[in-house]
Structure 1
Amino acid sequence: MISLQHHYGVTSGVQSTPFRSMAVLHQIGAVWAVTSVNNIERLRLDRGWSRPQLGKRMGTSGQQIERLEKGQRTLKQEWIDKAATALGVTPSDIITPLPAGYALSGQTEVLPADDPNEIVQIQRLDLSLSMGPGTVIDDYVEAEPVSFDLAFIRRITRSPAHRLKLVTGIGDSMYPTLNWGDAILIDTTDRALAKQDGIYWIDLFGAAGLKRLRTIAAGRVLVISDNPTVGDQEVAAEDLRIEGRAIWVARGL
């Protein structure tokens, strides 16, 4: 079993299980199907996802998502929780009126129209995320911004630039997928385990690292190191906080 307590630590205080913050009133309304607001379609479109894409993240079909969005299927608590987890918001965000230009739970805002010639700034973290042994630290510091063509970023993700972080990996526990010194782009809007075997920036027991995650049972997650010489670790989902997902990597020759 691997302990991540020697990894470089990164904390943000964002829960990986946002449904726990749902108000009792919203729970009661959802159970009895008396909710008057349904934000699933709006949240889906804001992320640039199709119905089949959201359906895959929720473990259902695109047709089922269409029925939920159009009110043809009762929006019960189970569906609210699944939608909230997939979209990276709280369940109350699913059934509470949203203001224009909202920013939910630190998630994606409505994106303006893209200018193909625009340059965006992405913050590079001054402290590396650990992919192997390191020293625990209490915080991270944003260093100078790095300029990217927006057109290039849009080929990778629809998330806004200020939700992206550029980090440098150290260690060899994710080799050969990630090497020491790789520049890794993290999407901090992706804070739910919606992509099985995706590589996530995680916080486990107060320490952080880049690891591959896989759901193996109800409430259980396998934290995977790609290096075959490094063992995997099975943990309780409630002990794991997801800070974002690795979506792009670059390395020098």
Structure 2
Amino acid sequence: MLATPETPRAALQRLIEERREDYAALSRMLGRNAAYIQQFIKRGTPRRLHEQDRATLARYFGVSETLLGGSDRIAGADLVPVPVLAVHASAGHGANVVGEERLGAVAFDPAWLRRLTKGATDGLSIIRVSGESMAPALADGDEVLVDRRDGAERLRDGIYVLRLDDSLMIKRLARQPQGRRITIGSDNPAFPSWQDVDPARIDILGRVLWYGRTLA
């Protein structure tokens, strides 16, 4: 038997009890009279929380606005869709890329994205890792968030998606202390790394910011 969905009033009452909050204090936080929250929960007045009140309460409790009767937004913020591309970056010997067909999108909280990058979000995309050369950091089948605006111009030590000899790879790049050469590294010692590489030989497509993994 399916459980009855929790109403916004019941959800807010539960949050208040769990956090040991006070009706009047929450009402004052919203700039309302001291009885506002209690009347909403106990008397059903108003019938729905005002949009701004709902957003403020969602941020305060760290929950989705849907729990309090709002639209599908996280803590009052519009989600940012990041495209998932039909591209595999090889963590192995290299993968040939035919195109960049869009498979769908994953929505992220913009505040969370800003903690990862200060750049424009239209430079982000998600692609899949193929191979084991970057294990244990990245495994075959992982999905990685790539910032295409963070490439050769701002190159620093980190994991990047790059094209070398017409193959797409995901590798750890490190600037060498002297000169302008770089090291292309595999985290897995069973796979090769390349020392003293001329950056002109490679096309750096973007920096890896984050990864997601399906648990077996």
Q: Indicate yes or no: 2:211 matched with 1:249.
A: yes
Is structure 2 residue 106 aligned with structure 1 residue 146?
yes
Letter of the 1:213 partner, please give it: L
CA contact (8 A) 1:215 1:222 kept: yes
CA displacement at 1:189 relative to structure 2: 0.9
Q: Which residue of 2 aligns with 1:185?
A: 145
Kindly name which structure, 1 or 2, has the bigger radius of gyration based on alpha carbons: 2
Q: Is 1:159 the counterpart of 2:119 in the alignment?
A: yes
Structure 1 residues 131 and 219: alpha-carbon distance in aligned structure 2, compared to 1, 3 A threshold = same
Deviation at 1:135, TM superposition (A): 4.4
CA RMSD, Structure 1 to Structure 2 (Å): 2.0
Q: 2: CA distance between counterparts of 1:116 and 1:159?
A: 22
SS at match of 1:146: strand
User: Does the CA contact (< 8 Å) of 2:94 and 2:168 recur in 1?
Assistant: no
The CA distance in 2 between the partners of 1:155 and 1:194, in whole Å, is: 18
The two structures have a TM-score, normalised by structure 2, of: 0.59
Quick one: structure 1 residues 180 and 193, their matched pair in 2 at CA, closer, same or farther if it must change by over 3 Å?
farther
> Does 1:197 pair with 2:157?
yes
Residue 134 of structure 1: how far off its partner (Å): 5.3
Q: Which runs of 5+ in 1 are unaligned?
A: 1-114
Identity across the alignment (%) = 32
- The answer to whether residue 79 in structure 2 is matched with residue 119 in structure 1 is yes
1:218 aligns with 2:179: yes
Question: Could you tell me how far 1:195 is from its partner in structure 2?
Answer: 5.2
Taking the TM superposition and a 5 Å limit, the aligned residue runs for 1:101-120 are: 117-120=77-80
| Paired AA for residue 244 in structure 1 | G
Q: Which residue of 1 aligns with 2:135?
A: 175
Checking the alignment, whether the CA contact within 8 Å between 2:133 and 2:191 is kept in structure 1 is yes
The residue number in structure 2 matching 1:237 is: 199
Q: Give distance in 2, aligned partners of 1:188 and 1:142.
A: 15
Displacement of 1:193 after TM fit? 6.4
Structure number with greater CO (CA < 8 Å, separation at least 6) is: 1
Q: Which runs of 4+ in 1 moved over 4 A?
A: none
- In the alignment, the residues of structure 1 paired with residue 205 and residue 87 of structure 2 have an alpha-carbon distance, to the nearest angstrom, of 15
- Partners in 1 of 2:84 and 2:121 — Cα distance? 12
State the match for 2:35 in structure 1.
none
What letter is aligned with 1:143?
L
Q: CA deviation at 1:241?
A: 1.4
CA contact (8 A) 2:89 2:95 kept: no
- The unaligned stretches of length 5 or more in structure 2 are 1-74
Distance in 1, matches of 2:151 and 2:100, equals 18
Bigger proportion of residues as strand: 2
- Opposite residue 119 of structure 1, the aligned amino acid is L
8 A contact 2:97–2:168 mirrored in 1: no
1:78 maps to which residue? none
What is the rounded CA distance, in whole Å, between the counterparts of 1:153 and 1:223 in structure 2? Answer: 27
Structure 2 distance, partners of 1:193, 1:226, is 24
For residue 37 of structure 2, what is the aligned residue in structure 1?
none
SS at match of 2:182: strand
